[in-house]
Amino acid sequence: MSLTPASYRHRLPLSLSVAAVVTAVSMALALGLQTLDNLREDQGRNALRLGHAMSEILVQALLHDDVWLAYSLLRGPEKDAADATWILIDAGQRIFASNRPERFRLDQSLEAALPWLPVAAFSPDAPAPALVRSIAPQDDGTRRVLRLTLASEGGPVGELIALLSDRPFLARFREILVGGVLVTAAVLAVMLPAGWLWGRRMASPLMQLAACMARVGTEDARQLRCQIPESDSEIGQLGRQFSAMLAALAEKGALEQQMLQAERLAAVGRVAAGVAHEVNNPLGGMLMAIDTYRQGQVLDARTARLLDLIDRALQQIRGSVSALLVEARGDSRTLAPTDLEDVRTLVQPRLARSSVRLDWNMGLASALDLPAAPVRQLLLNLLLNAIDAAEPGGAVRVEAGIDGGQLAVRVENSGRPIPAEQLAHLFEPYPEQRPHAQGLGLWICYQIVSQLGGQIRVASSAERTGFQVELPLGTEEAP
Amino acid sequence: MLTRRDLLRALGLLGISPVGCHDAIAAREAENPVVGARPALRFGLTPVILDDRVAFLRLWASWLERQLGRPVVFIQRARYREIMDLLLRGGLDLAWICGYPYVQHRWELSLIAVPRFQGQPKYRSYIIVGADSPFTALRDLEGGLFAWSDPDSNSGYLYPRVALLEQGQDPDRFFRRTFFTWGHRHAVEAVAEGLADGAAVDSYVWETLARRVPELTGQTRIILRSPLFGFPPLAGAPGLVPTDLQAIRQVLLRQDQDPIGRQLLDELNLDGFAPAEPGLFDDIAAMAARLDAGRRT
């Protein structure tokens, strides 16, 4: 297991939490150390002030040999709680008074009491300035020493020494630290969940994107519906790029599908045409042979009946085969608006029978450069299909118009949608799903449109199914 | 840390009072215009008693004022000698002084009354050491630090010196170092806080402290109890008018019969006041003579 979690879902909030903890701890430490420094400085300054304040009376005590006066001044009102250890020494470098009388005995020599303290040279001319000096920490906790020379009429009579340690305010310092830790903990108790939530929120668009990307390739790009983060951040940009990529993928898929279908239909068309030709040739021969035979002989009734039977069967074969062969360019007559109106008239009986309402919108004013017969057949087939599909009481809507150099025809009907699996094979001859129908209507439509160089599309939703046909004008030749 | 209180305390130790005693008198007279007709009775106090209880002294002064019909002013000094100087030079009408200075000036001073302590007008000197110290006798303190109460104190100076003389010791060399604490209470503190190895204190002050501040005396231990001596007396100034002296004596002798006076005596940890003859202090006089002789030889 790796020390750093892999997912940003954990890494982000964790980083935020660690940053919060580190900040809080370093703040508390810095504040604590600063406070300790300030406390030490204050202690030194207070000791200096106190030493100066006491110096005059201590000089008197030294001059009058009044131990009690010096002691009662040094011990102050606090006694044990005093901040510093005060030692008054006389001119003979012997202890005269201290607020720690048991430790620093009266009349003890300073050297014996504080061996580490350098002997101060008493110089009558220039008494040493009173200073608080830091020293190497001693066993008793002394870290700083104040030395104040006491002089009377210019002559030194003694020295006041204060031993300063951190002990008096260590408790306070500890309180400050504990307070800092508690406040930090309280802040963290609020910050951590907030940071965690925030981190998760920041990471969630990445999660969405990652989840969505994981589906690419396993699912159809056109059906892929992903929640893409929307923001101006880099993640938002990434999301938009990703959506664009998905859209391109879907388009490509649709195009491929369409091409595949077109190729399949073209192949089917070629096969049908080929078969029709192969069948038609011997068929023509056979029919001709029967005809010749009829004219050349006197037939008995039985033979004549037999020949009639064969003739009708062969005619039927020819009819079926030529139904597969659509010849769109055979007609040279151009399409007039009346051709379309004819179609409307032709379907009236069917409409009446099915009680389907027709909504007819024709935006054509003049003749178009399109062969009339195939377009009539195309419209008729689509319209009959639509009336079939629209259940009784339904409606069919037809629209036609010129749009950018091509004739656009749209036929819509209400009713049940066409299932997706049927849509893929809708234009093939004899579709499996509609065995009861004759099965060549849409195939013929497709052939006509293809031969006229146009396009036919179908779209089916829950309420409407629509066929959209676009036929280019004035293009005699299609590839 | 030093506070203003500490400085005031330091000033007080030097005997510099922020309010002069004459101002105090004037203030008292202004407060009591009825009794202001006669001049105030100036009553000197020394640290033979616990003289640091201002509220109590005020109550006692007002009780005395009512009894005497004249203002009473307590005048306190840190050292016995200052009170003695005031008393001998007419600065005081009477003072509560120690038996030692009394016997030194007994021909000039008149004896007004002697307090009765534990049933008799007598007290002792205690030699005390720290409660945890190993000392058990006076001679153990040789070469130590010793605190005297006051050079004019019998229990805190005269007796221990004579006791040392009697043991064949030179009181000036027996200890390594000695100092004065200017008060019995301070001497107890000096021993309790370890400043001194031993001290000589007034038994009355020690016992009173033991009743009132047992945690202080608990840090000390008595290693020597002196014989009984005459209790520090109330002495009249050389110029004290006999009628005044009699009046004061009558008030003091009857104080234990007055309910308020009784309470005040309880506060003082005394039974009352008794008339006294100068002979009560003969022992002290003898010791003083002995010390003088020792000095001269």
Q: If you average pLDDT over residues A13-32, what whole number do you get?
A: 81
Q: How far is A188 from chain B (nearest CA, A)?
A: 38
d(CA B112, CA B253): 10
Least confident of A196-200, A321-325, A447-451: A321-325
Backbone angles phi, psi at B139, to 5 degrees: -70, -20
d(CA B152, CA A373): 154
* Percent of chain B scoring above 90 in pLDDT: 74
Q: How far is A141 from chain B (nearest CA, A)?
A: 19
Whether chain A has a CB inside 8 Å of the CB on B173: the answer is no
Which residue in B has a C-alpha nearest to residue A98's C-alpha?
B195
Q: If you average pLDDT over residues A402-423, what whole number do you get?
A: 84
What is the edge-to-edge ordering of all strands in the sheet holding A131-134? A95-98, A84-90, A155-165, A142-152, A131-134
Q: What is the pLDDT of residues B164-205, one digit of tens each?
A: 999 999 999 999 999 999 999 999 999 999 999 999 999 999
Determine whether the interchain pair B3/A107 forms a contact, defined as Cβ–Cβ distance below 8 Å.
Answer: no
Whether chain B has a CB inside 8 Å of the CB on A68: the answer is yes
Q: How confident is the model at residue A140 (pLDDT cuts 50, 70, 90)?
A: confident
Q: Which residue has the higher pLDDT, A478 or A393?
A: A393
Least confident of A404-418, B1-15, B235-249: B1-15
Given A60, A68, A79, which is nearest B190 (Cβ)?
Answer: A68
d(CA A204, CA A197): 10
Determine whether the interchain pair B179/A66 forms a contact, defined as Cβ–Cβ distance below 8 Å.
Answer: yes
Q: How far is B2 from chain A (nearest CA, A)?
A: 6
Q: Does the pLDDT of residue B278 top 50, yes or no? A: yes
d(CA B69, CA B131): 48
Q: Does the pLDDT of residue B8 top 50, yes or no? A: no
Q: What is the pLDDT of residues A251-301, one digit of tens each?
A: 888 888 888 888 888 888 888 888 888 888 888 888 888 888 888 888 888
Q: If you average pLDDT over residues A402-419, what whole number do you get?
A: 86
Q: How confident is the model at residue B237 (pLDDT cuts 50, 70, 90)?
A: very high
Indicate which of B79, B172, B177, B179 best probes the interface with A, i.e. most A CBs within 10 Å of its own CB.
Answer: B179
ipTM of the complex: 0.81
Q: What is the pLDDT of residues A60-70, one digit of tens each?
A: 999 989 999 99
Q: If you average pLDDT over residues A356-370, what whole number do you get?
A: 84
Q: Does the pLDDT of residue B254 top 70, yes or no? A: yes
Given B10, B176, B196, which is nearest A57 (Cβ)?
Answer: B10
Q: What is the pLDDT of residues A302-344, one digit of tens each?
A: 888 888 898 888 888 888 777 777 766 666 778 888 888 888 8
Beta bridge partners of A84: A164
Q: Which residues of B touch A85 (CB under 8 A)?
A: none
Q: How far is B11 from chain A (nearest CA, A)?
A: 8
Q: What angle do CA A271, A272, A278 make, to 5 degrees?
A: 85
Q: How far is A28 from chain B (nearest CA, A)?
A: 28
Closest C-alpha among A276, A277, A279, A266 to residue A443: A266
d(CA B232, CA B103): 11
Q: Which residues of A touch B2 (CB under 8 A)?
A: 46, 49-50, 53-54, 76
Q: How confident is the model at residue A365 (pLDDT cuts 50, 70, 90)?
A: confident
Q: Which residue has the higher pLDDT, A131 or A47?
A: A47
Determine whether the interchain pair A73/B13 forms a contact, defined as Cβ–Cβ distance below 8 Å.
Answer: yes
* Percent of chain A scoring above 70 in pLDDT: 89
Which residue in A has a C-alpha nearest to residue B195's C-alpha?
A101
Which residue in A has a C-alpha nearest to residue B180's C-alpha?
A68
Q: Taking the model in full, what pTM does it have?
A: 0.61
d(CA A269, CA A429): 9
Q: If you average pLDDT over residues A85-89, what whole number do you get?
A: 91
For residue A225, give every residue at least 6 positions away whose Cβ sits within 8 Å of its Cβ, in sequence order, or none: none
> Domains plus CATH for chain B?
4-117+232-283 (3.40.190.10), 125-226 (3.40.190.10)
Determine whether the interchain pair B193/A79 forms a contact, defined as Cβ–Cβ distance below 8 Å.
Answer: yes
Determine whether the interchain pair A50/B2 forms a contact, defined as Cβ–Cβ distance below 8 Å.
Answer: yes
Q: Which residues of B touch A89 (CB under 8 A)?
A: none
Given A57, A65, A78, which is nearest B14 (Cβ)?
Answer: A57
d(CA A159, CA B100): 37
The rounded mean pLDDT for chain B is 86
Indicate which of A42, A48, A49, A71 best probes the interface with B, i.e. most B CBs within 10 Å of its own CB.
Answer: A71
Three-state DSSP string of B231-297: CCCEEECCCCCHHHHHHHHHHHHCHHHCHHHHHHHHHHCCCEEECCCHHHHHHHHHHHHHHHHHHHC
The answer to whether A135 touches A145, Cβ cutoff 8 Å, is yes
* Percent of chain B scoring above 70 in pLDDT: 86
pLDDT at position A102, please? 87
In the three-class reduction of DSSP (H, G, I as helix; E, B as strand; rest coil), residue B89 is classed as: coil
Q: How far is A4 from chain B (nearest CA, A)?
A: 54
DSSP B154: I
Q: What is the pLDDT of residues A41-52, one digit of tens each?
A: 888 888 889 888
Indicate which of A72, A89, A109 best probes the interface with B, i.e. most B CBs within 10 Å of its own CB.
Answer: A72
Q: Which residue has the higher pLDDT, B19 or A363?
A: A363
Whether chain A has a CB inside 8 Å of the CB on B7: the answer is yes
Q: Does the pLDDT of residue B34 top 60, yes or no? A: no
pLDDT at position B15, please? 37
Q: How far is A171 from chain B (nearest CA, A)?
A: 16
Q: Which residues of A touch B144 (CB under 8 A)?
A: none
Which residue in A has a C-alpha nearest to residue B148's C-alpha?
A68
Q: Which residues of B touch A49 (CB under 8 A)?
A: 2
Determine whether the interchain pair B13/A69 forms a contact, defined as Cβ–Cβ distance below 8 Å.
Answer: yes
Q: If you average pLDDT over residues A9-13, what whole number do you get?
A: 76
Q: How far is A51 from chain B (nearest CA, A)?
A: 9
Q: Which residues of A touch B1 (CB under 8 A)?
A: 46, 50, 78, 83
Interfacial B residues in 188-247 facing A (CB < 8 Å): 190, 193-196
d(CA A119, CA A106): 18
Q: How far is B18 from chain A (nearest CA, A)?
A: 16
Least confident of A221-225, B21-25, B39-43: B21-25
Q: Which helix (H) or strand (E) holds B159?
A: helix B159-166
pLDDT at position B9, please? 47
Q: Which residue has the higher pLDDT, A283 or B225?
A: B225
Closest C-alpha among A253, A261, A243 to residue A221: A253
Whether chain A has a CB inside 8 Å of the CB on B181: the answer is yes
Q: Which residue has the higher pLDDT, A228 or B74?
A: B74
Q: How far is A142 from chain B (nearest CA, A)?
A: 17
Q: Which residues of B touch A146 (CB under 8 A)?
A: none
* Burial class of residue A429 (count of CB atoms within 10 Å of its CB; 0-12, 13-18, 19+): buried
Interfacial A residues in 85-114 facing B (CB < 8 Å): 101-102, 105-107
Output the CA–CA distances (angstroms, integers) from residue A102 to A95, A223, A446, B176, in the order listed.
12, 94, 120, 16
Q: How confident is the model at residue B112 (pLDDT cuts 50, 70, 90)?
A: very high
Given B2, B13, B193, which is nearest A101 (Cβ)?
Answer: B193
Which residue in B has a C-alpha nearest to residue A79's C-alpha?
B193
Whether chain A has a CB inside 8 Å of the CB on B147: the answer is yes
